[in-house]
Amino acid sequence: MNPHGVSRRKLLGLITAGSAAAAGLLAVNWQNASGPGWPGISPVNAGGTPPRRGDKTLVVFYSKTGRNFPDLNLEVGNTAQVAGFIHDRVGGDRYEVVPSEPYPADYDETDRMAQREASERLYRPIKPGTPDTDQYGTVFLGFPVWWGEQPMAMQTFMRDHDLNGARIVPFVTHEGSQFGNSLEILERYYPQADVLDGYARQGQQVYRDPDGTRTQVNSWLEGLGF
Ligand SMILES: Cc1cc2nc3c(=O)[nH]c(=O)nc-3n(C[C@H](O)[C@H](O)[C@H](O)COP(=O)(O)O)c2cc1C
């Protein structure tokens, strides 16, 4: 339940019905878990010189397979789909952030866990073998919006990789919050990055209309000059 006593599932039901009013309500109720000021988030390499960067392109993303809203069982997560469409067009390297311990299969359990992780800023360990991000001048950074933020597994990647000085191109999937607070959070980690206009798509639209999503992604990328 959110502070207004309306369950998120109910709100999601409203938004699925397509009501603009419900979209406003959703935005009000899906506040970030940790509140203003983003306690626990410090700029990466604060005040330091950004690393010397190569000119390669990286598409890095986190996405959850399995049970998801609304009663979907995703073999490929929504954000992973979008990451694939981006990579098909821009090439370069592709890297999936994977938590060391998977989130629970059950949606509600994951939801509760994610809220706690975000509100207590519990950085979720991720599998080793992450790329040396200094090689990349352009980094596409993708994630589902969870409680208005990047999931903590993605924030672990962000905390541990200095993307200052890079061109960062954010992309998200969501169920009504659009980017939520994630762009502010991105700037908080990387005050010296050049953040380009991102792409946000409702997750179930990615699932239901992959071809339309690919078309949208291509025209967004074209608009950015990719
Ligand atoms: C734990 C959890 C928290 C979520 N929080 C939000 C949210 O705050 N705002 C929103 O619009 N959607 C939220 N969603 C919906 C997801 O962003 C959406 O289903 C997304 O497409 C999932 O992407 P994935 O398949 O790549 O994991 C949440 C989903 C989960 C599982």
**Could you tell me the domains of the chain?**
1-31 (no CATH), 48-224 (3.40.50.360)
User: Is 60 exceeded by the pLDDT of residue 7?
Assistant: no
The reported pLDDT for the residue numbered 58 is 98
Q: DSSP class of residue 126?
A: B
Confidence of residue 50 (pLDDT cuts 50, 70, 90): very high
Do strands 136-144 and 72-74 pair parallel, antiparallel, or not at all (unpaired)? unpaired
Q: pLDDT confidence of 114, banded at 50, 70, 90?
A: very high
Residue 207 near residue 178 (C-beta atoms within 8 A): no
Which amino acid is located at 197 in the chain?
Answer: D
Q: Is 74 in the pocket of ligand 1 (CB under 6 A)?
A: yes
Per-residue pLDDT tens over the stretch 133-189: 999 999 999 999 999 999 999 999 999 999 999 999 999 999 999 999 999 999 999
Phi-psi region of 129 (alpha: psi -120 to 50; beta: other; left: phi over 0): left
- Ligand 1 pocket member 78 (CB < 6 A): yes
Q: Which of 15, 68, 96, 205 to mutate to test the pocket of ligand 1 (most atoms within 8 A of CB)?
A: 68
Rounded to whole angstroms, the Cα distance separating 194 from 112 reads 33
Q: Which of 69, 86, 109, 207 to mutate to test the pocket of ligand 1 (most atoms within 8 A of CB)?
A: 69
**What is the structure's pLDDT at 73?**
85
Ligand 1 pocket check for 114: Cβ under 6 Å: yes
| Ligand 1 binding pocket includes 147 (Cβ within 6 Å) | yes
The per-residue pLDDT for 27 is 42
Comparing C-alpha atoms, which of 115, 154, 142, 134 is closest to residue 50? 134
Q: Which residues of 131-167 are buried (b: 16+ CB within 10 A; e: fewer)?
A: bebbebebbbbbbbbbbbbbbbbbbbbbbebbbbbbb
Which residue minimizes the CA distance to atom 8 of ligand 1? 147
- To the nearest whole number, what is the mean pLDDT of the chain? 86
* Atom 21 of ligand 1: nearest residue by CA position: 203
Say how many Å lie between the CA of residue 48 and the centre of ligand 1.
Answer: 34
Cis bond upstream, residue 70 (ω within 30):
yes
Question: How much distance in Å is there from the Cα of 145 to the middle of ligand 1?
Answer: 5
SS3 211: helix
The arithmetic mean of pLDDT across residues 207-211, rounded, is: 96
* Residue 200 near ligand 1, beta carbon < 6 Å: no
Q: What is the DSSP letter of 189?
A: H
Q: According to the model, what pLDDT value does residue 130 have?
A: 97
The tens digit of pLDDT for each residue in 8-43 reads: 443 443 333 333 333 444 444 556 666 667 778 999
